[in-house]
Structure 1
């Protein structure tokens, strides 16, 4: 995704579980990536990645609906 020059990427309803840090770095291709992940529960889950040089964020709450 690094060649697309995206600031934010959201992957909805991912079935990934566990540590996905390396996968996120492979997708983003940049050391400035920050991420939040909600592990899959049925059809709910997802990953949000952003360029930390442009956006500032932190996970405030993780649950059915997560807030950044």
Structure 2
């Protein structure tokens, strides 16, 4: 991966066209759309507090 240090490598991943930054933004929009629709469905049956969790990508 190009870059002399972590900051340059992260910039390379996120700043290039079609890179991780764009893909992350696309996934975020799709996830928000899904969650919006899921909440509408759940609200038909449940009026309590709704939360969600996202598993960590880190597998130390």
- TM-score when scaled to structure 1? 0.23
Higher relative contact order (CA 8 A, sep 6+): 1
- TM-score when scaled to structure 2? 0.25
Higher helix proportion, which one? 2
Higher strand proportion, which one? 1
Larger Rg: 2
